[in-house]
């Protein structure tokens, strides 16, 4: 690519182009005497480019070059087009849509006011860069974009990422990309001023069409419209197959949900229209897909004739590296939903959502989700490239912007916890996953700059106590119109995250041999942690505010003494139990609440939190048919209506960050050394699950872990790749056995200790307030008491202390064996007759 930097300019048509009007077509005809030994096309655009050679679409990338911080980095793709070049006349052509560089991106409310405030972030018109290198035995010929390219418009009449594409097939200039085309009326391109020093080779996997989904239903809505359900919320577009007369238009409207009465509901798209229009040329079967837009959708309303439609799933084509399945159908769907939300939000860069007028690289969302993402897919390419953008934006702006690339015009250009500190967390997560300190070295200036930026804002106590913070964003108890107004003190969140950050920094400096920095960051870390404890923790271990998030942060980030941590764990378990396992955390606490419970020995509570089905909970959206992770716990409320807040999407991965706990604790795999050369396998079965199987492709090869409880027996299987070792902690082993194993397949089978029944859900030992909250069992249990022990004030069970269980009540009232069995049966527990 050095050569691409040296030659070639961006070009654009000389004629006027309307914003979101017709897209420019470019062509250049040239002659070669003999076929070259090799022909390489380097191509990119300010906009979205679709390149052609001699009528053939070049490569399989879509939405190229994707979105980077173009002012600093414009990604160039390189395609081998040797087979397409023939002796004689040839044509290099391209269509360029507005894409992120020119088109509408961002919500105008936060941009400068005025018309077009949310467009032209990088360029006022689409521009093409291409450089075709034809290599012969003794020389290289180069065809590069310059004024010899000719331009016109064609069939693409509108091409907005948010609003959709309009294509009139009658207007396609037939043969425009093949030799001999009559280009009368095409006009020479002009150079578009753009620094070629911004060109960089592609390092991330390109965006591709990854999968196609057939409709699961095509129905007619009450108002008579045709509604197609693809059965899955996704990012991409529809491939349309149609037949009809010339000039008829098929309109494809996309949305994530339907109204309760079955009409398309575009509310979650906000101002993004998400409508594609195709006008037929007539005369046979026509197949069409848009190329310059994408939509976040599950449903489409189709107006006009069509023979067939398919949803084309589009995202960065990263290798899949992580899988998990369990005995619990809803947990598996929750996990699948997180995978689908990742797929929908890795369209070139990590975004918040793929549907509404945002789709931006919000830093906090990927900070929360990155550990899960790095397990599920190989994210080195996409997130490595994004980190380069982050560093570039940070260098230019002096702080990490809240979105990368930044198109909010410096809106909120202050360091923030969970958002800006992704600058430090993400390189560390990538290092831990892939074991390559080069990522730390590359990001080091950005990491240190972030920490220094916060350090200078600390107060005399060492606390991060002023300035804007997102806090525990979207805490379910926050007011509908104030997502950052949750229960947990914003500065507690900020200080806790900063302590995590400073510790990573000290470790990073040590790994990189930056001894002085390491000492500085270690001292800063101690200062921040001590300040946190002084300000927010009682000597005995209560954490200010006593929210689940406050406890989760303090525990997960090692902010407490061992005694305090034990107490805090117990308090967290109590807080969670008292809430009847309703989830009460937002973006900041959700990735940490399950780990904090299991770390402090409250595994049962963690499982109960995971498995609750009523709103709000991890599984509630699953029970409502969700196929992706929702932005809010109650994006669809129990009465079936959509949450009224403007900010309600059905495809936001942040709250799916809890699947990281599934991988580490239910599946049981963690690296003991970055990159998993040494790993720890310690699955922890809990109530409600009797089986889990995990598969993970590490940089050393594939790891498999599985466990299964059958009656009183446990079977564990572990396979690890060559060159690795594992410490295996056998779950619920009577002797708490720990094994050290080398590469290969290992299996264990043993009797479980008495009383260990992970498959059981509620038991006689389940706290009463928990049971009361479980609509699946409580009515039956209450009926048994009414019939057999009417003297028990069972109606007040919800107010019982967490230490009160059915067993303590039955003991207190001297219940007979038959009553005990009846209660057990109501719980779905085996009675003595059925017990083996
Ligand atoms: C986005 C979030 C983001 C937040 C921060 C929202 O509009 O969708 O996920 O992190 O803004 O302000």
* pLDDT of 121 higher than 90: yes
* Residue owning the nearest CA to atom 3 of ligand 1: 362
Note whether 642 and 268 are within 8 A (CB): yes
- Beta strands (DSSP E) in 48-125 are 48-53, 56-57, 74-80, 88-97
Distance 352 CA to ligand 1 centre (A): 7
Q: What gap in Å lies between CA 498 and CA 483, rounded to an integer?
A: 21
Q: Residue 433 to residues 188, 366, 487, 694, 699: CA-CA distances in angstroms?
A: 50, 15, 33, 16, 8
Q: Tell me the CA end-to-end span of the chain in Å, nearest whole number.
A: 70
pLDDT of residue 773: 63
Of 349, 352, 359, 382, the C-alpha closest to 103 is: 359
Q: Is 299 exposed, middle or buried (0-12, 13-18, 19+ CB in 10 A)?
A: buried
* pLDDT of 835 higher than 50: no
Mean pLDDT of 410-431: 94
* Residue owning the nearest CA to atom 9 of ligand 1: 352
pLDDT of residue 5: 40
* pLDDT of 61 higher than 90: yes
Any catalytic annotation for residue 396?
no
User: Which atom of ligand 1 lies closest to the CA of 356?
Assistant: 8
713 forms bridges with which residues in the sheet? Answer: 710, 751
Q: What percent of the chain has pLDDT over 70?
A: 95
Q: Is 831 exposed, middle or buried (0-12, 13-18, 19+ CB in 10 A)?
A: middle
> Exposure string (b/e) for 459-483, b if CB count within 10 Å is 16 or more?
eeebbbbeeebbbbbbbbebeeeeb
CB-CB neighbours of 351 under 10 Å: 24
The per-residue DSSP string of 805-834 comes to BHHHHHHHTT--HHHHHHHHHHHTPPPTTT
| Torsion angle, alpha carbons of 505, 508, 510, 512, to 10 | -140
pLDDT tens digit sequence for 169-218 = 999 999 999 999 999 999 999 999 999 999 999 999 999 999 999 999 99
Q: What gap in Å lies between CA 467 and CA 494, rounded to an integer?
A: 10
Backbone angles phi, psi at 337, to 5 degrees: -65, -40
The CB of 357 under 6 Å from ligand 1? The reply is no
719 forms bridges with which residues in the sheet? Answer: 704, 745
**Considering 50, 133, 358, 433, which one is annotated as catalytic?**
358
pLDDT tens digit sequence for 615-636 = 999 999 999 999 999 999 999 9
Of 138, 150, 147, 120, the C-alpha closest to 46 is: 120
pLDDT of residue 6: 43
pLDDT of residue 114: 61
pLDDT tier at 832, thresholds 50, 70, 90: very low
Q: Which helix (H) or strand (E) holds 773?
A: none
pLDDT tens digit sequence for 761-801 = 677 877 777 677 666 577 778 888 888 988 888 888 877 87
The CB of 360 under 6 Å from ligand 1? The reply is no
pLDDT tens digit sequence for 536-580 = 999 999 999 999 999 999 999 999 999 999 999 999 999 999 999
The CB of 532 under 6 Å from ligand 1? The reply is no
Mean pLDDT of 229-247: 98
* pLDDT of 293 higher than 70: yes
pLDDT tens digit sequence for 450-480 = 999 999 999 999 999 999 999 999 999 999 9
Q: What gap in Å lies between CA 308 and CA 250, rounded to an integer?
A: 12
pLDDT of residue 408: 85
Note whether 565 and 537 are within 8 A (CB): no
pLDDT tier at 228, thresholds 50, 70, 90: very high
Any catalytic annotation for residue 631?
yes
pLDDT of residue 445: 98
Q: Is 174 exposed, middle or buried (0-12, 13-18, 19+ CB in 10 A)?
A: exposed
* Residue owning the nearest CA to atom 4 of ligand 1: 362
Distance 633 CA to ligand 1 centre (A): 15
Pocket probe mutation, ligand 1, options 272, 403, 473, max atoms within 8 Å of Cβ: 473
Mean pLDDT of 492-500: 98
Pairing assessment for the beta strands 207-213 and 38-46 based on DSSP bridges: unpaired
Q: What gap in Å lies between CA 329 and CA 327, rounded to an integer?
A: 6
Q: Is 703 exposed, middle or buried (0-12, 13-18, 19+ CB in 10 A)?
A: buried
pLDDT of residue 362: 97
Distance 201 CA to ligand 1 centre (A): 30
The CB of 286 under 6 Å from ligand 1? The reply is no
Mean pLDDT computed over every residue of the chain: 94
Tokens of 783: 């009926």
Q: What percent of the chain has pLDDT over 90?
A: 85
With DSSP H G I counted as helix, E B as strand and the rest as coil, what are the percentages for the chain, rounded to 5?
A: 30, 25, 45
Backbone angles phi, psi at 255, to 5 degrees: -160, 160
Mean pLDDT of 705-717: 96
Q: Residue 62 to residues 251, 609, 708: CA-CA distances in angstroms?
A: 22, 41, 43
pLDDT of residue 761: 62
- Ramachandran category for residue 102: left, alpha or beta (phi over 0 → left; psi -120 to 50 → alpha): alpha
pLDDT of residue 115: 64
| CB-based contacts of 170, cutoff 8 Å, min separation 6 | 155, 246, 247, 279, 280, 281, 282
User: pTM for the complete prediction?
Assistant: 0.91
Q: Residue 560 to residues 259, 381, 545, 555, 661: CA-CA distances in angstroms?
A: 48, 36, 16, 7, 21
* Residue owning the nearest CA to atom 11 of ligand 1: 362
Distance 835 CA to ligand 1 centre (A): 51
Mean pLDDT of 287-303: 98
Give me the residue label for tokens 């950050």.
501
pLDDT tens digit sequence for 575-604 = 999 999 999 999 999 999 999 999 999 999
Least confident of 219-223, 440-444, 517-521, 826-830: 826-830
Pairing assessment for the beta strands 713-729 and 678-681 based on DSSP bridges: parallel
pLDDT tens digit sequence for 724-771 = 999 999 999 998 889 999 999 999 999 998 877 654 567 787 777 767
pLDDT tens digit sequence for 351-365 = 999 999 999 999 999
Of 211, 208, 244, the C-alpha closest to 230 is: 211
């Amino acid at each position: 690519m050095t050569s691409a930097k040296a030659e070639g300019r961006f070009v654009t048509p000389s004629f006027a182009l309307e914003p979101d009007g017709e897209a420019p077509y470019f062509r250049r005809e040239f002659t070669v005497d003999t076929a070259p030994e090799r022909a390489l096309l380097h191509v990119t655009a300010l906009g979205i480019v679709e390149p052609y050679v001699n009528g053939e679409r070049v490569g399989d990338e879509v939405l190229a070059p994707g979105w980077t911080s173009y002012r600093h980095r414009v990604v160039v793709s390189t395609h081998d087009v040797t087979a397409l070049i023939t002796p004689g006349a040839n044509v290099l052509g391209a269509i360029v849509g507005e894409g992120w560089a020119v088109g509408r991106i961002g919500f105008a409310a936060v941009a400068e006011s005025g018309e077009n405030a949310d467009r032209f972030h990088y360029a006022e018109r689409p521009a093409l860069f291409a450089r075709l290198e034809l290599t012969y035995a003794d020389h290289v010929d180069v065809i590069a974009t310059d004024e010899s390219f000719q331009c016109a418009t064609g069939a693409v009449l509108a091409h907005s990422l948010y609003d959709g594409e309009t294509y009139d097939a009658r207007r396609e200039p037939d043969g425009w990309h093949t030799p001999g085309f009559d280009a009368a009326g095409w006009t020479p391109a002009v150079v578009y001023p753009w620094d070629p020093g911004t060109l960089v080779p592609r390092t991330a996997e390109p965006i591709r069409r990854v999968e196609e989904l057939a409709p699961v239903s095509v129905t007619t809505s009450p108002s008579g419209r045709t509604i197609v359900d693809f059965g899955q919320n996704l990012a991409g577009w529809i491939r349309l197959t149609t037949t009809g007369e010339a000039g008829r238009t098929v309109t494809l409207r996309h949305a994530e949900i339907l109204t309760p009465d079955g009409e398309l509901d575009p509310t979650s798209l906000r101002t993004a229209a998400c409508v594609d229009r195709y006008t037929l040329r007539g005369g046979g079967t026509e197949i069409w897909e848009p190329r310059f837009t994408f939509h976040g959708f599950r449903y489409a309303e189709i107006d006009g004739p069509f023979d067939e439609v398919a949803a084309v799933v589009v995202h960065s084509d990263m290798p899949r590296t992580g899988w998990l399945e369990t005995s619990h159908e809803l947990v598996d769907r929750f996990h699948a939903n997180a995978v689908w939300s990742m797929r929908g939000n890795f369209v070139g860069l990590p975004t918040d959502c793929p549907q509404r007028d945002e789709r931006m690289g919000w830093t906090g969302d990927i900070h929360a989700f990155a550990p899960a993402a790095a397990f599920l897919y190989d994210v080195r390419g996409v997130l490595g490239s994004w980190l380069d953008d982050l560093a570039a934006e940070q260098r230019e702006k002096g702080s990490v912007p809240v979105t990368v690339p930044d198109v909010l015009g410096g809106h909120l250009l202050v360091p923030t916890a969970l958002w800006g500190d992704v600058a430090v967390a993400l390189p560390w997560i990538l290092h831990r996953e892939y074991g390559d300190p080069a990522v730390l070295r590359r990001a080091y200036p950005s990491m240190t700059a972030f920490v220094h930026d916060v350090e200078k804002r600390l107060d005399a106590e060492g606390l991060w106590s002023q300035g804007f913070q997102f806090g525990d964003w979207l805490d379910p108890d926050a007011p509908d119109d104030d997502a950052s107004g949750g229960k947990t003190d914003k500065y507690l969140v900020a200080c806790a995250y900063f302590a995590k950050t400073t510790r990573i920094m000290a470790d990073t400096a040590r790994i990189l041999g930056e001894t002085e920095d390491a000492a500085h960051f270690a001292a800063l870390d101690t200062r921040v942690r001590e300040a946190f404890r002084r300000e927010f923790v009682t000597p005995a271990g209560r954490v200010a505010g006593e929210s689940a998030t406050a406890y989760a942060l303090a525990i997960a980030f090692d902010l407490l003494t061992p005694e305090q941590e034990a107490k805090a764990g117990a308090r967290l378990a109590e807080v969670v139990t008292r809430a009847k396992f309703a989830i009460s955390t937002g973006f900041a606490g959700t990735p940490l609440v399950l780990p904090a419970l299991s770390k402090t020995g409250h595994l049962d509570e963690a499982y109960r939190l995971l498995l609750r089905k009523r709103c709000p909970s991890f599984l509630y959206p699953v029970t409502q048919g969700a196929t992706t992770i929702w932005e809010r716990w109650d994006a669809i409320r129990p009465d079936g209506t959509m949450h009224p807040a403007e900010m309600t999407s059905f495809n936001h991965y942040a709250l799916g960050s809890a699947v990281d706990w599934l991988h580490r604790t239910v599946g049981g795999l963690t690296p003991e050394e970055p990159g998993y050369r040494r790993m720890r396998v310690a699955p922890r079965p809990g109530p409600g699950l009797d089986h889990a199987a995990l598969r993970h492709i590490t940089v050393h090869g594939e790891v498999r872990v599985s466990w299964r409880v059958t009656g009183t027996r446990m079977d564990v299987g572990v396979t690890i790749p060559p060159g690795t070792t594992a410490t295996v902690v056998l779950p619920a082993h009577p002797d708490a056995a720990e094994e050290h194993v080398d590469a290969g397949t290992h299996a264990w089978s043993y009797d479980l200790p008495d009383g260990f029944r992970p498959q059981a859900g509620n038991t006689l030992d389940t706290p009463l307030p928990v049971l009361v909250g479980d609509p699946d069992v409580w009515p039956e249990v209450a009926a048994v008491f009414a019939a057999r022990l009417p003297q028990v004030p069972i109606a007040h069970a919800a107010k019982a202390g967490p230490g009160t269980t059915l067993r303590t009540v039955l003991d207190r009232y001297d219940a007979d064996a038959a009553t005990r069995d009846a209660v057990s049966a109501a719980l779905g527990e085996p009675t003595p007759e059925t017990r083996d």
